[in-house]
Homo-oligomer: A and B are copies of this chain.
Amino acid sequence: MSTAAHPGTPASVRQTAQSGLYAEVQLFYARQVHHLDAVRAQEFAATFAEDALFAHSPDAPAVRGRANIAAEVSAYNKRRFQADPVQRRHWFTMLDVRQQADGSVHTEFYALVGTTRPGEPRPVIAPSCIVRDVLVREDGELRTLSRKVTQDQELIG
């Protein structure tokens, strides 16, 4: 089996691991999520490609482009949490990474969202999601070119 012809075949697994790509993607997501949960909308948007497509919730229309992603993250947080101070966390796990022949990287992972409110140490943990990203490189660095978040609710609706 040729890796180039069949991205995602077993042969590519060790290549992905040994090249450091898997760890690089993990680091990329850690920093992206830290920006998101601190509501640093500009810094979060800067981890997306210039013309990225961002479909993050069934309750919000998909947006395109860094400026619109930053605006959407700000607006979403204001809409939902302005009168309800929270600390949100996004926990990404079970990350699959598949290098593509065209240089892009396809990822698939689970995301779980936690929301802690004052006076209640137990976070509300919902929703559980599956996320599919296409990553590309800009000036050598990973950027999200597209993100599609699907909530588990949608899969059993």
Please give the distance in Å from A39's CB to the nearest CB on chain B. Answer: 12
Quick one: CB contact mask for A101-116 with B, threshold 8 Å, 1 for yes? 0000000111010101
Instruction: Find out whether the CB atom of A94 lies under 8 angstroms from the CB atom of B87.
Output: no
For A13, give its contact among B22, B24, B109 (CB under 8 Å): B24
A16-B23, A17-B27, A114-B128 are contacts. A87–B33 as well, Cβ < 8 Å? no
Interface size class of A (residues with CB under 8 A): 35 or more
Instruction: Find out whether the CB atom of A29 lies under 8 angstroms from the CB atom of B94.
Output: yes
- Across-interface contacts of A108 in B (CB, < 8 A): 30, 34
Instruction: Find out whether the CB atom of A95 lies under 8 angstroms from the CB atom of B26.
Output: yes
Please give the distance in Å from A73's CB to the nearest CB on chain B. Answer: 17
Instruction: Find out whether the CB atom of B85 lies under 8 angstroms from the CB atom of A156.
Output: yes
Instruction: Find out whether the CB atom of B22 lies under 8 angstroms from the CB atom of A27.
Output: yes
Top 4 closest pairs, chain A to chain B, by CB? A17-B20, A18-B20, A17-B23, A116-B152
